[in-house]
Amino acid sequence: MKKTTIVLATSGLFATLTPLSTYADNAPEKNPVTHAIESLTSYDAKQTSVYYKDLDQDGVKDQYDHCLNTLLGANVDQTGCEIDNDKDQVVDRIDQCPNTAPGVIVNRFGCENDEDGDGVPDSRDKCPSTPKGATVDAQGCEIIDLDKDKIDDKIDQCLDTPLNATVNRHGCEPHEYVLTNIIFDTYSHDIKDSQKPILKRDAAMLSNLKEDEIVLISGHTDYVGAEDMNMRLSWRRANSAKNFIIQELGHIGQKVYINGYGENHPVADNSTEEGRQENRRIELQVITLEELPDNALLSLPPEMLRK
């Protein structure tokens, strides 16, 4: 094909145009590439390297940065956004509660809401409308404490302790030795319902145990009946008292020992009814392991089960 010359009347100037088809005819048939496309691709590549910078200087190029305006010096993740370890939508830089549980609703400081202002977050508050200024427990419920010993009346076994008295975890003034004369039915070791409040209050007076201390429960009887039967009965009654304080007062079984003395250690005259009642007793003591009598055990000996 011959070159075509086109003459333009443009202020006396002549222009010669070469049709693109001329180059197309001379290009390889299988890879037709125009100079215009090649030039455009090269231009874009240059512009990419020029315009994709890191304007907020967080170490993440703008083309990958999802948060283009982070504060200078802020810690960011690989997407250029400030770190929020507990995923509560409040970045760690301003999060005053950085370890909130997943899914918990938080305020602008990253902390759980506490609508009644009692210090217990709403997600754990079982009493969400306690009066302002009320003293509450770990569940956010108001503590009623009439004797002001800082023990909730719901668990306080001694509701009338003197003001400013030292109390144990049960709200009672602590004692190393407690004696209880609860009444058992004849030849029985079962604790009667009428006697349970008495035993609970008496046992609650024991002082809180230190690491090296244990509770020793000793059973005693009067002299009525055969001596060997009274011995077995005293062991069983001591064991009943142990099971009771474990269940009702939260004592640990491995910290409570028992023994029985039968009729061998009276504290009153066995010839009178009043004296015999005094002798039918349960003694509770807080002692160290070094003070533990040789005959004391953690569980009832099999031979003591026989009636």
DSSP letters, 16-67, are: ----HHHHHHHS-SS----HHHHHHHHHHHHHHHHH---TT-SSS-TTT-S-
Mean pLDDT, residues 111-129 taken together: 82
Q: Quick one: CA dihedral 264, 174, 250, 183, positive or negative?
A: positive
Q: Which of 285, 288, 290, 157 is nearest to 220 (CA)?
A: 285
**Mean pLDDT (whole number) for 22-35:** 50
Q: Is the pLDDT of residue 257 over 60?
A: yes
Tokens at residue 150, please? 């800082």
Q: Is the pLDDT of residue 206 over 90?
A: yes
Contact criterion met (CB below 8 Å) for 226 and 265: no
Residue 266 has pLDDT above 90, yes or no: yes
Average confidence (pLDDT) over 50-76: 79
Q: Distance (Å, rounded) from C-alpha 41 to C-alpha 38? A: 5
pLDDT at 236 > cutoff 80? yes
d(CA 203, CA 207): 9
pLDDT (average), residues 23-49: 51
Q: Is the pLDDT of residue 212 over 80?
A: yes
Q: What is the pLDDT of residue 230?
A: 96
Residue 60 in tokens: 């993440």
Compute CA distances 90 → 93, 97, 118, 176, 244, whole Å: 8, 9, 23, 53, 51
Of 103-107, 220-224, 252-256, the range with the lowest mean pLDDT is: 103-107
Q: Provide the pLDDT for residue 154.
A: 86
Q: Is the pLDDT of residue 295 over 80?
A: yes
> What was the pLDDT predicted at 224?
94
- Is CATH 3.90.79.10 correct for 177-305? no
pLDDT in tens, 3-15: 544 444 444 444 4
Q: Could you tell me if 121 and 115 are in contact, meaning their C-beta atoms sit under 8 angstroms apart?
A: no
Query: Quick one: pLDDT at residue 122?
Result: 82
The highest-confidence range among 113-122, 125-134, 158-167, by mean pLDDT, is: 158-167
Give me the half-sphere count of Cα atoms (radius 13 Å) on the Cβ side of residue 71: 8
pLDDT given for residue 108 in this prediction: 78
Confidence check: pLDDT of 303 > 90: yes
Q: Range with the lowest mean pLDDT among 28-37, 174-183, 196-205? A: 28-37
Helix (H) or strand (E) holding 219: strand 213-219
Residue 288 has pLDDT above 90, yes or no: yes
Residue reference for tokens 């069983």: 236
Question: In which region does residue 8 sit, left (phi positive, over 0), alpha (psi from -120 to 50) or beta (all else)?
Answer: beta
Question: How confident is the model over 46-65, as a mean pLDDT?
Answer: 72
Whether 201 shows a pLDDT value over 90: the answer reads: yes
Mean pLDDT for the chain?
83
3-class secondary-structure state, position 206: strand
Nearest to 263, CA basis, from 307, 304, 230, 300: 230
Query: What is the pLDDT at residue 190?
Result: 95
pTM (global) more than 0.95: no
